[in-house]
Structure 1
Amino acid sequence: MTDPSEASEGVSRRGLLGLALGAGAAGIALGAGAGAAAGVAVGRSREREGAASAYAFFGEHQAGITTPVQQHLHFASFDMMARTDRDDLISLLQDWSYAASRMTQGLEVSATGAVLGSPQAPPDDTGEALGLPAAGLTITIGFGPTLFELDGTDRYGIAAQRPDGLRKLPAFLGDDLDPGASNGDLCIQACADDPQVAVHAIRNLSRIAFGRATIRWSQLGFGRTSKTTAAQATPRNLFGFKDGTANILSDDAAALDEYVWAAASDSPAWLAGGSYLVARKIGMIIESWDRVRLAEQDAIIGRDKGEGAPLSGGDEFTEPDFARTDAAGTPLISATSHVRLAHPEFNGGIRILRRGYNFVDGNTDLGRLDAGLFFLSYQRSPEQFVTLQRALSTDTMNEYIRHIGSGIWAIPPGAIAGSFVGAGLFA
């Protein structure tokens, strides 16, 4: 049996088999989205895109949560294969952690990499990131509810360690979820300032998983829709509005402890220092939105489109005044606006940390843009997200969006050097 306390100093024999046999499967797993990645790459300047940025994989918390939000995302959900056991799961997490610790530093997945191995065997690394810098790559790994228990079966002897809050999200008004783009036993969030670096990470981690886990669904994203540092400008979503003005920032330790990081007092103990990730694929009905008058767009959001200031006055960072009215006594910020419904003042002070991305997956059969927001939020408890999502049930913006994908995962704390993500779960 695999000893979870043993240091992982390389890819296991099972992982090496995946590198040798998984090339075809990994290529298929990227799906049609690979073309979108190439399109996003057009015109980028790799010299300009954070060439010197490299974030450590090991640490107190997993990178990719409070890390400055990068420009590109490749998110993948995985299911463990039938007839896998506890040792398979542990060895997979060890292999993933080892490879991730190298790729986040701009290295190949193993010492022999793409060109130093035997000419008579497939290379360990697929090679498309050769010569590219780390580009701020972060790799974040999460555990879904079905990893702990599936149809009443404790597949890996960890059901007793499932956090109470880690359960399939409830149905929300307006959900039109695609089961093929929702949930999963495991997830990997790869963010980078070069889309090819992010795609390379998921491609190679998929190969390493061969025989143990398979891609359930994946999503490419571009153009971050949030910020986690004051130095970052507030970005815009595909509706053209600034997004994430009031996000929790990485230097706000008190807010992170209260709203993002699971504490030692929370149950279970192995998750302390971790968090919960909710992913929602939100389709935007772009063509309908583009025909809405500017004043109405502002009213739906509750902010002006240019500056991002609340309609009650001030600049982008002025606190909204929901009591302020016009001469007729009508509130300047509508009661059904997105800003008001999502504001902590009306949700028991609840806040979440957002890391979202725009996506464009081509066109629909009707010739409309298949586009929207891939929403990612981190919170200390899933109830924070549930409360906010329910509060948005009367949001006027719901006329122009639809929720088409969903999932929740427990994000373990960071791993210590030589160990692996999630080791505490198996202690």
Structure 2
Amino acid sequence: MSSHPNNEDAEAQPQPERAGLSRRKLFGAAGVTAAVVGAAGAGAFAGRATAAQTTDHLHAAVPFRGPHQAGIVTEAQDRMHFATFDVTTRSRDDVIKMLADWTEMAERMTQGKEAFPNGATGQNPYAPPSDTGEALGLPPSQLTLTIGFGPSFFAKDGVDRFGIADKKPDALVDLPKFPNEKIDPARSGGDIVVQACSNDPQVAVHAIRNLARIGFGTVAVRYSQLGFGRTSSTTREQSTPRNLFGFKDGTANLRSDETDKLNEFVWVADGDGPSWLTGGSYLVARRIRMRIEQWDRTTLLEQERVVGRQKGSGAPMGLTDEFEELNFDLTNDKDEPLIDTLAHVRLASPQNLGGIEILRRGYNFTDGSDGFGHLDAGLFFIAFVRNPVTQFVPMQNAISRNDAMNEYVTPTSSAVFACPPGLPEGDTSSFWGSALFD
């Protein structure tokens, strides 16, 4: 694909200077934060870090710049605030200006600073502060902010709003409908996504809140999701966490030191698509409702049959260590496979999928209860892949039809985004998505 837009009008438009944030953005933005923070229940901030704590992993700052965006192979943090946005303007210049502002803000916030210098307390007392202030005094908490662009960002309803339709990757398409899902369109898709991960939920919420309020007039929050208790590990130093079914989750996940596998399954390579995406990745998000009460009434034997692993140790059925390779040839004295033919780990395994692997980075969620008194809880599944069409779609086809776990889960939202590579050190002229508008 060409690296320049074909739209002559778009090409003729001058690129706006990266001036400081317009104060008018702040006056209309106050109301937008309620939509973002409203997803945070009263208990979401329980256990939040304070400035007095000295735990190293809470104080650490993750570098914002590098070959790849942070928040993909970065050591998985414990909390997440995931938000998607719809662009509400047709002004190419306004979108560029917002992305430039967001980049400056994101870099500051990942360093533990305010979104803008003296943003909460040191500016005009007769105007809204340019930082909401709830993260004042808190450490960086390994905050990472990862951005991606959905299919509709490039063209919506057939309209090339920003002169970038020719830069849309072929693999960036809405996921097809799969069996056993009840997708809510209002909680799916989106023009832009920002994934905030942190070890302190207040730090993650602060980041999304401030991006949303500064984007007012250019973007509007489509939906957001809070997550707690990571459901995967991206480094070998991390222990395997558990999902809300009580099983260890992500035992066989890709790790940050598996360079060859990451190149094969996560990072978009030169020649895979448009040049602006080389070194980036695709983000697939799925909100999966778990039938908690039904699962809790299920026997341990049935739970382990459904999963294909032992609940206590996490070891595959018939083995003793969590990290032993799955052995589908093991049988009991009745010559029945110890890992059931419809067990989740069997159907989702590389052995069953022709070698396909993905990098998982999901989180547990609880959003209160439904009208029947059942917990609205489950897994907010996030995966990063080199190509969603050739990796995630075949995997989902394999498990959505036959997986024994389908009796206990229902996907309720779905989205896919193209995440550009990281920003180079010292390059102040580039910003999130700048290569799209060259």
TM range (shorter): over 0.9
- 1:107 aligns to what? 113
1:94 to 95, 100, 107: 100
Which residue type is aligned with residue 312 of structure 1?
Answer: G
Report the CA distance between 1:23 and its aligned residue: 1.2
In the alignment, the residues of structure 1 paired with residue 56 and residue 84 of structure 2 have an alpha-carbon distance, to the nearest angstrom, of: 27
The letter for the 1-side match of 2:421 is: P
Matching residue of 1:177: 183
Q: Distance in 2 between matches of 1:373 and 1:414?
A: 27
The residue type paired with residue 388 of structure 1 is: M
Aligned to 1:25: 32
Q: Which residue of 1 aligns with 2:412?
A: 404
Unaligned runs of 5+ in 2: 1-12
**Is the partner of 2:302 in helix, strand or coil?**
helix
Q: Superposition pairs for residues 314-325 of structure 1, below 5 Å?
A: 314-325=320-331
- 1:264 aligned onto 2:276: no
User: Structure 1, unaligned stretches of length 5 or more?
Assistant: none
Cα displacement string for residues 195-247 of structure 1 (whole angstroms, at most 9, x for unaligned residues) = 00000001000011011000000000000000100000000000000000010
By how many angstroms is 1:12 displaced?
A: 3.3
Query: Secondary structure of the equivalent of 2:127?
Result: coil
Q: Which residue matches 1:64?
A: 71
1:128–1:49 distance in 2 versus 1, CA, 3 Å: farther
Range with greater deviation from structure 2 (99-108 or 16-25): 16-25
2:282–2:416 Cα contact (<8 Å) kept: yes
Separation in structure 2 between the aligned mates of residue 259 and residue 208 of structure 1, nearest angstrom: 35
Which residue identity does 2:43 align to in structure 1? G
User: Does the 8 Å contact 2:35/2:221 carry over to 1?
Assistant: no
Q: Give the C-alpha shift of residue 21 in structure 1.
A: 2.2
- CA distance 1:2–1:139, change in 2 (3 Å): farther
Q: Distance in 2 between the 1:106 and 1:226 partners?
A: 25
**Alignment of structure 1 residues 143-292 onto 2, 5 Å:** 143-292=149-298
Q: What is the CA–CA distance in structure 2 between the aligned matches of 1:369 and 1:51, rounded to whole Å?
A: 30
Matches within 5 A, 1:268-347: 268-347=274-353
Question: How far apart, in 2, do the equivalents of 1:27 and 1:17 lie?
Answer: 19
Measure, in 2, the Cα distance between the counterparts of 1:2 and 1:235: 50
TM-score, normalisation: structure 1: 0.95
- 1:90, 1:270 → 2: CA distance? 15
3-state SS of the aligned residue for 2:393?
helix
Q: Report the Cα distance in structure 1 between the residues aligned to 2:379 and 2:24, rounded to whole angstroms.
A: 37
Task: After TM superposition, give the deviation of residue 43 of structure 1 in Å.
Answer: 3.5
**Contact persistence 1:11–1:110 (CA under 8 A):** no
- Which of 387, 390, 399 is the aligned partner of 2:397? 390
Instruction: Note closer, same or farther for the CA distance 1:391–1:24 as it changes in structure 2 (3 Å cut).
Output: same
2:5 matched residue in structure 1: none
Work out whether residues 36 and 208 of structure 2, in 8 Å CA contact, stay in contact via their aligned partners in 1.
Answer: no
Q: Give the 4+ runs in structure 1 shifted more than 6 A.
A: none
Count of residues paired in the alignment? 418
- AA partner of residue 251 (structure 2): T
Aligned AA for 2:44?
A: V
Q: Which moved more, 1:255-264 or 1:42-51?
A: 42-51
Aligned residue for 1:133? 139
Distance 2:254 2:383 in 1: 11
Indicate which of 389, 413, 435 corresponds to 1:424.
435
Counterpart-to-counterpart distance in 2, 1:216 and 1:192: 22
- Give the superposition deviation at 1:19: 2.5
Distance 2:56 2:365 in 1: 20
Per-residue Cα deviation, 1:61-120 (whole angstroms, up to 9, x for no partner) = 110000011010000010000x42211221111111110000000001111310010011
Q: Deviations over 1:263-311 (max 9, x none)?
A: 1121111100000000000000000000000011001000000000000
Q: Which amino acid aligns with 1:12?
A: L
Q: Is the 8 A contact 1:23 1:207 kept in 2?
A: yes
Which letter does structure 2 place at the counterpart of 1:151? D
CA contact (8 A) 1:2 1:90 kept: no
In 1: Cα distance, 2:271 partner to 2:237 partner: 33
* TM-score (normalizing by structure 2): 0.93
Structure 2 CA distance for aligned equivalents of residues 17 and 66 of structure 1:
37
Aligned ranges 1:119-130 → 2 under 5 Å: 119-130=125-136
Partners of 2:313 and 2:320 within 8 A in 1: no
* AA matched with 1:327: D
Aligned to 1:39: 43
SS of 1:406's partner is strand
Please give the alpha-carbon distance, in whole angstroms, between the structure 1 residues aligned to 2:216 and 2:142. Answer: 26
Check the 8 A contact 1:20/1:124 in 2, yes or no.
no
Code of the residue aligned with 1:40 in structure 2: it is A
Change (3 A) 1:29 1:41: closer
| 2:357 corresponding residue in structure 1 | 351
Contact 1:312 1:320 in 2 (8 A): no
Amino acid at match of 1:373: L
Would you say the 8 A contact 1:281–1:404 is kept in 2?
A: yes
Question: Take 1:405 and 1:11, find their aligned partners in 2: how far apart are those partners?
Answer: 36
Conserved? CA contact 2:48–2:201, under 8 Å: no
CA contact (8 A) 2:315 2:321 kept: yes
Q: Deviations over 1:332-384 (max 9, x none)?
A: 10110000000001111000000010000001111110100000000000120
Whole-angstrom CA distance in 2 between matches of 1:216 and 1:128: 23
Q: CA–CA distance in 2 between the matches of 1:237 and 1:248?
A: 18
Relative distance call for 1:11 and 1:241 in structure 2 (3 A) is: farther
Cα 1:368/1:11, change in 2 over 3 Å: farther
Q: Which amino acid aligns with 2:127?
A: A
Cα distance between partner residues in 2 of 1:104 and 1:339: 36
- The range that moved more, 83-92 or 121-130, is 83-92
CA offset at residue 180 of structure 1? Answer: 1.2
Contact 1:277 1:379 in 2 (8 A): yes
Paired position in structure 2 for 1:3: 15
| 3-state SS of 1:370 partner | strand
Q: CA deviation at 1:2?
A: 5.1
Q: 1:265 to 1:76 in 2, by over 3 A?
A: same
Partner of 2:234: helix, strand, or coil? Answer: coil
C-alpha root-mean-square deviation of aligned residues, in Å? 1.4
Give the fraction of aligned pairs with identical amino acids, expressed as a percent.
53
Q: Please report how far the alpha carbon of residue 49 of structure 1 lies from its aligned counterpart in structure 2 after TM superposition.
A: 7.1
Give the match for residue 370 of structure 1. Answer: 376
Q: Structure 2: which amino acid aligns with 1:57?
A: F
